[in-house]
Structure 1
Amino acid sequence: MTALRACDDGPQRSREWLTLPGRKKILVVVHTVPYGKRLQEVFSLLESDLRIQVVFTAPPHPFSDGVAQLLERLGSAVLPWDEAVRMDFDLALAAGPRGVEKVRAPLVLLPHGANFLKRVTEGAETRVAGLGRQDLTPQGRALPAAVVLPHRDDLDCLAHTCPEALPRASVVGDPVHDRMVASLPRRRAYRRALGLGKGQQFIAVVSTWGTRSSFGAIETLLPRLLELVGRHRRVAVLVHPNVWSGHGAWQVRAWLAQCARRGIAIVPPEADWRPLLIAADTIIGDHGSVTLYGTLTGAPILLAASPEQEINPASPAAELARTAPALSPAHSLSSQLAYAAAEYHGHQREEYGAIAARITSEPGRFSRNMRRLLYRLLGLGQPAHPAHTPPLPLPPPLTRWSTAPHGRYDTGTGASA
């Protein structure tokens, strides 16, 4: 990570010392680890273009733990926030609204998860998170240069919540959807890389953040996960980075230490969860984005949490909550996993497929559409080669994340996502 700092004559003068000056300058605003991983799918579309210089900044955010390490792994040129907001850029990319009213650039605002799944209640007002007027015009900022949407149905919601933003809306698609679909043929390779044996069942336990998430009920879920440990089963727990950031990495690992000692993999927040989801035989999840992306994989889903009050009723997450079986305290977890598998293979496969189809109305076209949008806003012609959607890299073995010697955990290198 390279820290760019202003000289005495101001931040613009610091750019005079670059070997390749005069590039179009793009600022990537990374609030949190999930936001940064989402934005990586966007700024990677600009690679090899010598006309463009990409720099990064990290505004203050309550869940910013891990952002500096993420940017360090990228080898990014990083501007301190207080200097970034004093500079002019040709374009800015962000996946959240906090602080972007201070950025001096045309703004491209993207969702940071699947679709717009959650609704938030503030006082007497309930809104769809990410599409409210306060999300799109924080602190009275002018409308973004582009509001990126994954599905054409989101235009209806936007017309209700912030109709003046409709002319700036672009239905581009979903990068995670496209990367996962492109990677589905590599499922066996992912399972081998994870160290899964032939016939060994792999269960991915995923959680968003918040009191109504799967992790919010961890006291009752933990002993049930220990039921699953055995020679013919492997289990991995994937917890939202906001949980790690909010409680502290040491505390999350300490809470899950008994699981790790029993061989359950505790996947760190910097790791790429997508190959694990593709490799899973069953997914235990909640109302978060990762669970919804699980509908792409062909794995049955068992819901440990699906709070109606937090789910956008028009979203595919609401449909999944009505379709997937809910975890019950009255029966063993093993029997419920068997039931979920029987239901899925018996009649739910097509229903899951219909839910997955609602993630994006531009399947396989995110890279093409997003690159076209970026270059239009920059006033540049696109490179003379197709925008590529590569398959996901192989993950490290589960054993890397399933030991807890002396209270320390080997987190691995973590694939970017």
Structure 2
Amino acid sequence: MSDAARNQRPSVLLAFRSAVALNRLLDVLPVFEGDPRIDRWFTLVPGSRFGTDALAVLDRAGARVVDFDEARSRHFDLILSTSPKGALTSLSGRARALLPHGAGFNKALADEGSPALPSGLDPAFLLSAGEPWADLHGLGHHEQLARLTEFCPPAAARAVVVGDPTLDRMRESSGRRDTYRRGLGVGDRTLLAVLTTWGPEGLLARRHGLPLELALHLPVDGYLVALVVHPNEVSARTPFDLAEQLGPALRAGLLLPSPHQEWASVLVAADAVLTDHGSTALYAAALGRTVVLDGYDGGSELLPGTPMARLLAASPRFTGAADLPGLLRAAAVPDAARFAADAFARPGEALPLLRAELYRLLGLAPPRTPLAPELLPDPVVSRAPAAALAVRAEVDGRRVRVERFPVATGLPVHHRSAHHGAAGLTEQRSAELLWRRPGTGRWSAAGWAAHVLDELPGCRVAAALLSAELCLLVHRRHGPFALRVLPHRADGLVRRIDPAAAASAAYAWLVAHPRAAEGLPVELACTVGPVTVRLELSAAGAAQLDAEF
């Protein structure tokens, strides 16, 4: 195609001020998919300190980015933006469209625009020389249209309720929920997403120690905690500093997903969320997740009467990590989705409606190519398995309940366990139970256990985890035992526990029954997290002792 022909093609400029605004534009971009008639350009609108990270996303994607000064010198057929702020009005376009960059308009920011007016509905940004800047306002719900009519009637006259493309994308991706959970390593655990918005009233600013509190005081076999940080907060702190600031919590097992598209994958995978007043919680509610509020009181940003305010008013209050399991079981808001209904209209229709409206502005017939939300990417979270754990154990006859925590927990524990060869030397020296999975085949299981007990005198039991269902336990005083860990089978599901947790259960039972060797074999019911399995403890035979390990 010649340069002249290319220059005659309609041009769409996607203008953004921050990573949040860019992410929403990327959710809308499929409306132009498959159409070779259109040139797509991106530009960063100056005026926000949160924009530079977004450029890196576009660079990795190979998108066509134009400097803002150059963009101002050109004339585009359509300018599409998700924020009315900054120097947006200096751009020249035959048509202009404006979309929200979140779940409605729930906050007022004291340092921007008119005092106490909702961010995104302020005439100071929506009007230029007394006239609406945008030819189209694509809103998510009729409630938003009513509020736009209240605060800026000229702009409301150009508004259309099209639904929410981000929520449509999340709902379409819910078919991949098991894949997301598997990638995160959730298993049978409860995945708790902790949501924090940006600024001084956000959870991370007010309660910086909360992620560590959760990581240290929730049993690792029952809960997995992921911290979803607002992209503006990541930009303000920088990813490096944020990881340093959260270092103790990350070492204790906290997940820190990317703040771009992966936050939505995590919400699809999550069972519940703990949130501040950020509107991300509305997406979680719309997906049917339990919402718990982390005591947002006395702030000035959240506007009363908004969908977010109503959701939080009905949500149970977080009172501490120890109370959280009971709080989630009680599910004080069993139908959180009804509170999100005032934020999201026309489910599943956002892209078709936006395609029709945007092509109307372009003066083109929409393409007939199939239109569907792009599925969310798999969350990529690097997390090494815990190599040392503090173990609480309750023995009641032949029933044992085990709860494991990071070693830094301040909770009283029964013993410590550590992965021999993976945990640090101090952690191995302080562990009563040392375990290892099959390695190089250099040892027999009994030879490895004898080596460990000789090398580390503080160790009481060496556990060779021969498979998911068989362990060799060598007790310093009571000799070798074979431990079978039988999975729980019901309703077509096979559920297993970590054999290292089973070894801790057997050790706790042996401590409570010092003459147990005289009554073997014995069957135990072992509960770890949400799963109860049967354990069979017997004298070890040659097959277990001589197993190549």
TM-score bucket (shorter structure) = 0.7 to 0.9
Alignment check: 8 A CA contact 1:300 1:341 kept: no
Q: Secondary structure at the match of 1:284?
A: strand
Match of residue 288 from structure 1: 278
Structure 1 range deviating more: 17-26 or 74-83: 17-26
| Structure 2 CA distance for aligned equivalents of residues 229 and 258 of structure 1 | 16
Cα deviation, 1:283-330, whole Å, max 9, x if unaligned, reads 1111112211110233222111435532222321011111111222xx
Which of 74, 98, 101 is 1:112 aligned to? 101
Alpha-carbon distance, 1:216 to partner: 1.5
Match of residue 68 from structure 2: 81
Query: Are 2:34 and 1:48 equivalent residues in the alignment?
Result: yes
Q: Secondary structure at the match of 2:75?
A: coil
Q: Secondary structure at the match of 1:266?
A: coil
Which of 176, 182, 193 is 2:172 aligned to? 182
Q: Secondary structure at the match of 2:191?
A: strand
Equivalent AA in structure 1 for residue 9 of structure 2: R
| Structure 2 CA distance for aligned equivalents of residues 271 and 158 of structure 1 | 28
Alpha-carbon distance, 1:47 to partner: 1.4
Match of residue 340 from structure 2: 356
Match of residue 87 from structure 2: 99
Structure 1 range deviating more: 97-106 or 355-364: 355-364
Which of 378, 385, 396 is 1:394 aligned to? 378
1:13-24 aligned at under 5 Å gives the runs 17=3, 20-24=6-10
Match of residue 308 from structure 2: 317
| Structure 2 CA distance for aligned equivalents of residues 401 and 79 of structure 1 | 43
Equivalent AA in structure 2 for residue 297 of structure 1: L
Equivalent AA in structure 2 for residue 200 of structure 1: R
Alpha-carbon distance, 1:142 to partner: 4.5
Alpha-carbon distance, 1:356 to partner: 2.2
| Structure 2 CA distance for aligned equivalents of residues 77 and 386 of structure 1 | 24
Equivalent AA in structure 1 for residue 201 of structure 2: R
Equivalent AA in structure 1 for residue 249 of structure 2: C
Alignment check: 8 A CA contact 1:304 1:327 kept: yes
Q: Secondary structure at the match of 1:131?
A: coil
In structure 1, stretches of 5+ residues that fail to align are: 1-14, 404-417
| Structure 1 CA distance for aligned equivalents of residues 142 and 370 of structure 2 | 24
Match of residue 343 from structure 1: 331
Greater helix share, structure number:
1
Alignment check: 8 A CA contact 2:12 2:78 kept: yes
| Structure 2 CA distance for aligned equivalents of residues 30 and 121 of structure 1 | 22
| Structure 2 CA distance for aligned equivalents of residues 17 and 270 of structure 1 | 35
Q: Secondary structure at the match of 2:292?
A: strand
Alignment check: 8 A CA contact 1:101 1:139 kept: no
Alpha carbons of 1:380 and 1:202: their partners in 2 closer, same or farther (altered >3 Å)? same
Query: Are 2:139 and 1:156 equivalent residues in the alignment?
Result: no
Alpha carbons of 1:372 and 1:174: their partners in 2 closer, same or farther (altered >3 Å)? same
Number of residue pairs matched? Answer: 381
Alpha-carbon distance, 1:16 to partner: 7.4
Q: Secondary structure at the match of 2:163?
A: coil
| Structure 1 CA distance for aligned equivalents of residues 66 and 374 of structure 2 | 29
Greater strand share, structure number:
2
| Structure 1 CA distance for aligned equivalents of residues 32 and 135 of structure 2 | 18
Query: Are 2:46 and 1:66 equivalent residues in the alignment?
Result: no
Alignment check: 8 A CA contact 1:146 1:169 kept: yes
Match of residue 5 from structure 1: none
Equivalent AA in structure 1 for residue 310 of structure 2: E
Match of residue 30 from structure 1: 16
Bigger RCO of structures 1 and 2 (CA < 8 A, at least 6 apart): 1
Cα deviation, 1:108-140, whole Å, max 9, x if unaligned, reads 111111111112346983101101101312676
Match of residue 374 from structure 1: 358
| Structure 2 CA distance for aligned equivalents of residues 34 and 107 of structure 1 | 19
Which of 121, 129, 137 is 1:131 aligned to? 121
Q: Secondary structure at the match of 1:153?
A: helix
Match of residue 269 from structure 2: 279
Equivalent AA in structure 2 for residue 191 of structure 1: R
Match of residue 3 from structure 1: none
TM-score relative to the length of structure 1 = 0.85
Equivalent AA in structure 2 for residue 187 of structure 1: R
Cα deviation, 1:18-51, whole Å, max 9, x if unaligned, reads 7734210011112111111100122221011011
Alpha-carbon distance, 1:397 to partner: 4.8
Larger gyration radius, structure 1 or structure 2:
2
Alpha carbons of 1:340 and 1:214: their partners in 2 closer, same or farther (altered >3 Å)? same
TM-score relative to the length of structure 2 = 0.65
Alignment check: 8 A CA contact 1:100 1:138 kept: no
Match of residue 238 from structure 1: 228
Structure 1 range deviating more: 152-161 or 308-317: 308-317
Alignment check: 8 A CA contact 1:229 1:263 kept: no
How large is the RMSD of aligned CA atoms in angstroms? 2.4
Alignment check: 8 A CA contact 1:89 1:104 kept: yes
| Structure 2 CA distance for aligned equivalents of residues 22 and 288 of structure 1 | 43
Alignment check: 8 A CA contact 2:283 2:340 kept: yes
1:405-416 aligned at under 5 Å gives the runs none
| Structure 2 CA distance for aligned equivalents of residues 321 and 128 of structure 1 | 18
| Structure 1 CA distance for aligned equivalents of residues 114 and 266 of structure 2 | 40
Cα deviation, 1:325-382, whole Å, max 9, x if unaligned, reads 1222xxx4132342133134xxx323x1211222212111101111111100000001
Q: Secondary structure at the match of 1:306?
A: coil
Identity %: 32
Cα deviation, 1:142-186, whole Å, max 9, x if unaligned, reads 531111211012121111111111221111110111112222233
Match of residue 241 from structure 2: 251
